[in-house]
Structure formats: structure tokens, C-alpha cells
Amino acid sequence: MANTTMDANTTIGLDVEEEGISLDALTIDETEKTKFLVEPDDSTIKKVTTGDTIYQTAKRFEDLNLSKDLLTGLYVEMNFKTPSKIQSIGLPMILSPPYRDLVAQAHNGSGKTACFVLGMLSRIDINLKAPQAICICPTRELAIQNLEVLKRMGKHTQITSICAVPTGKTSLNSDRGPIRDQIVVGTPGTIKKWMSHKRFNAGNVKMLVFDEADHMLAEDGFKDDSERIVNTLRKSCCAPLCLQVLLFSATFNDTVKKFVSKMIKDGNQMFVKKEELSLESVKQFKVICPDEAAKRQVIDKILEIGDKLGQIIIFVRTKKSAKMLHQALDTEGGWKCTNIHGDYDTVKRDEIVKEFKDGFTKVLIATDLLARGFDQAQVNLVINYDLPTQYNPSEPHNPSAEPHNEVYLHRCGRAGRFGRKGAVLNLLCNDPDMMLMEKIERHFGIHVSQVPDYRSDEDISAALKEAGLL
DNA sequence: AAAAAAT
């Protein structure tokens, strides 16, 4: 027992204690009350529970006391057979009273979304026609995608749901009136607006889910919005454990963990070591390019092979580069591709995403708008035209010298969904780029192989072959 | 600077 306790402490990174932050949620209770359930067949996920509840791992969905209609959704609509690891460990923690908060870190494409969607659907009182569960996402695209999963999984139930994202159209009738749907999935601004306009009664909300929670709680993310929503909902709830907060993400850096520990008291946790975070399922490469033009040459070569590849996402750092690269590849280069970023209106964004998801477009140039959560099984190649960098407030227009490791991991996660073959190509053209790549490799403890010559068709093909794409 | 959204 003592050993297990030590182990868990290490995993969660209690080094933050040195900085004098209270660690209510992340501190391990050393008394007998705390139970650690170590999975014999899976040491990669660490489960830490609070209180005296014992959670059985769910080997089958039947173990979870789900309604018959929900089981039908899982088997018939989703084609699920048995719970994934995160689902078998996480769902019992979510669904057993007392309904404790949960911080869950799970690999990209490990069934995270299905886990919290199933959690929301199972806790709805079908006879109460009011919002009971809310899910907040960082982008409009992710909210729409999550609601689609929810509608599919809940198809055979009578549960109603609605998307709270900006519609573009102003105060029409559809924008007023009370919300009676039982589940709301949306982005922070619209949810905040609906709450402040009293469009629904917050008193019945018993579950609040943050997708991509680390970003939702980050200083340069949506921390203020998220905090306000949690506080409002906690206040409108009757008992201390009335509102169950679930935080899901593939990444939680130390800064965010500190804040999580302040926001979540007496919660359960699931964590994965950072070295074990899914970067092994996609094969990563770096291509050294002398200049920006060379980067486009590499992309040209890849598009020439195009037909044999699946869909491709090219990530860039700024909206401006998204537009420019699109211009260069499509208008000037004659390659049919699209691009997406936050400057486009909602109609255009929806259209671009739909075209890509329907397979009408093969190549999509994107800002980090699509870095997280975007799920398209046919994407097997991610190209980092620019590497993701931390935001540097003192020099907002220049890329920082520090890489954004979490965003890098999330971008990689767009390729090779659910264990499929995938590749990531990092295009580097100067010393700062090389430094960023080195830092990323060091952070994850990985080696990214170098494509010998950017001008060589053979070298590039060889890399894609090695990744299993050709 | 990206994103959300309201201004």
C-alpha cells in the first residue's frame, strides 16, 4: 500500500507543492480511506480516488447499469463492443454516487468523448425537461462534433440536446425563448450569454463537462469564462456534491494542474505519464528546408503522391499564413485545397468542415482552431508548416522561442485516429525552428527522424512508407 | 497570436 501511494504521488507531479499552492484535489490522502486500484493489464493509467467509494472496473457496458435504450445506441449506432480502457475505468467513477468530480487525462483517440458523452446521457432524468448536463468546448467545431456523437449515441433515448454556439444571425426568434433541452453542448461565450439572459434554469444542472479542459482552464485560454460558469452553477446547486464537474484532456501541464487543484475539491483522478501519451502511434519526421519556398516544394511533392495518401491537415501559426499558403497552393499551385481559421464567418467554417468530413476536400490548411479534438479517421498525415509556439505577450507578433508542447501533441493526435497508421511531417527552415523541434523532442523524450534531403522524392516517399502510409 | 464572443 505504501508503495502504491508513493507511485501515485510521483505520477501526478506533486512538485507543485514547493510553490506553496494548496493541493486539495491533487494531494493523496494517506489514510486508509484512499483506495488505489491498479489495473494489472494496464499500468499506463493511474487512478486516484477520494473517499471510501470502491470503483469496479467495467469490463462490459452491461456493468454500468445503463438504460436499454442507451445500450442500443452503443451497440447499434456506435458499433461499440466493449468499453475502452478510459471508459472502463472512468465511467464507474462518473456514474457511482456520490457523484464526485473527475479529472481525466487520456490519450488522443482513446474514446474520451464517448466516455463523457455516455456519462452525460446516463445521468439525465428523462422526465425533467430542463438542462441537466452542460459540456463546454474551446471551439465551435468541437462543440458541433461532440453534439453529433451525443445525438448518435442517444438516438434511441428520448433525451433532447442543443448546441450553444454562435449562429451568426442576430436576435431572431430562435435566439430567444427558454431552453428546455436536457443537454447543452457549446462554447463558453454562448453558454455564458444564455446563462446571464436566464434562458435556462441553472438549478437543474448536475453535470458540467470541460472538453479539452487544460485549455479551457488556461490563462491564455478560457480560464475566466470557465471559472465564472463553474461558480455560477455551483451556487445555483443545492448540495455540495450536487454539481459534478468533469475535466477531460490529453494534456494537463503543471500550471493548469495547480489551478485544477484549486477548482476541484475531493475529486477523483486518472492520469497518464507524459511519455506515454500516444506520440508512439504516429511516426514523426523533420524536414530541413533552406527557406519558406522549400517548404512549399516539399508540400508539392507530397501532393503529387496525393492519391495514395489519405486526407491531410497542414497546420500554420497565423491566420495570415493560412490565407497565404492557401493562395500559394490552390490559386497559384493548382492543388485543390481549403483553409479554415477564425476570421471566416460561421457559415463558411461549417461548410469547410463539412466538405472535409464528407471527403470532398483532401487537403485542409488550418490554424490551431483544429489542433484539438477534431476527429476525422481518414486523416493520416499532419504537416506542421510552422511549429506551435507559446504565446509571448511582450512580443505578440513574433513566434516565441518556446514550443507549445501540448499543442504539438494535440496536432499529432489528428493523424492516426484510434490506432490507425499516421505520420507527422515537421517543416523546419531556420535555427529557431530547429531549436523548437529539439525542445519538443526533449520534452517528450522522443527522437524525430530526419528526412535526409528535402529535394528528394525518394526520401519523402521512404518516410511515408516507413510510417505505413504508402 | 489562435480562439470565443460581444462590442
Task: Tell me the pLDDT tens digit for each residue of A60-118.
Answer: 999 999 999 999 999 999 999 999 988 999 999 999 999 999 999 988 878 899 999 99
Q: Which residue has the cell 449506432?
A: A77
Whole-angstrom distance, CA of residue A325 vs CA of residue A339: 9
Question: Which contacts (CB < 8 Å, 24+ apart) does range A73-78 have?
Answer: A73/A121, A73/A152, A73/A153, A73/A154, A73/A155, A73/A156, A73/A157, A74/A118, A74/A153, A76/A156, A77/A152, A77/A153, A77/A155, A77/A156, A78/A114, A78/A152, A78/A153
pLDDT of residue A241: 55
Q: Which residues contact A239 (CB under 8 A, 6 or more apart)?
A: none
Does pTM top 0.85 for this prediction?
A: yes
A353-366 in b/e burial notation, b at 16+ Cβ within 10 A? Answer: beebbeeebbbbbb
> What grid cell was written down for A335?
492543388
3-class DSSP assignment, residue A65:
coil
CA angle A42–A95–A61, rounded 5-degree value: 60
| Residue A318, CB, strand B, below 7 Å | yes
| Residue A225, CB, strand B, below 7 Å | yes
> What is the share, in percent, of chain A residues with pLDDT greater than 90?
69
Render pLDDT for A298-323 as a digit per residue (tens, 0 to 9). Answer: 999 999 987 889 999 999 999 999 99
3-class DSSP assignment, residue A433:
helix
* Residue A29: half-sphere exposure toward Cβ, Cα within 13 Å: 18
| Residue A342, CB, strand B, below 7 Å | yes
Task: Tell me what the mean pLDDT of segment A172-196 comes to.
Answer: 86
Q: What is the CA radius of gyration of chain A?
A: 22
Q: Which of the nucleotides lies closest to A395 (Cα–C1')?
A: B1
Rounded, the Å distance between the CA of A152 and C1' of B3 is 27
Confidence of residue A355 (pLDDT cuts 50, 70, 90): very high
Rounded, the Å distance between the CA of A138 and C1' of B4 is 7
| Residue A187, CB, strand B, below 7 Å | yes
Closest residue to B4 (CA, C1′): A189
Mean pLDDT of the residues in chain A:
86
Query: What are the backbone dihedrals phi and psi of residue A39, each rounded to the nearest 5 degrees, phi first?
Result: -75, 125
Element (H, E) at A117: helix A112-122
| Residue A397, CB, strand B, below 7 Å | yes
Rounded, the Å distance between the CA of A399 and C1' of B2 is 12
Asked if residue A3 has pLDDT above 50, the reply is: no
Asked if residue A383 has pLDDT above 70, the reply is: yes
Torsional class of A401: left (φ above 0), alpha (ψ -120 to 50), beta (otherwise)? alpha
Contact of A424 with A313, CB cutoff 8 Å? no
Render pLDDT for A123-147 as a digit per residue (tens, 0 to 9). Answer: 999 999 999 999 999 999 999 999 9
Asked if residue A414 has pLDDT above 90, the reply is: yes
DSSP A222: T
Whole-angstrom distance, CA of residue A280 vs CA of residue A300: 27
Strand B-proximal residues of A, range 17-76, CB below 7 A, are none
Closest residue to B2 (CA, C1′): A368
Confidence of residue A277 (pLDDT cuts 50, 70, 90): low
Whole-angstrom distance, CA of residue A129 vs CA of residue A94: 22
Q: Which nucleotides of B are covered by protein (CB under 7 A)?
A: 1-6
Give me the sign of the Cα torsion angle A105, A408, A191, A124: negative
Closest residue to B6 (CA, C1′): A189
* Residue A162: half-sphere exposure toward Cβ, Cα within 13 Å: 20
Whole-angstrom distance, CA of residue A389 vs CA of residue A304: 30
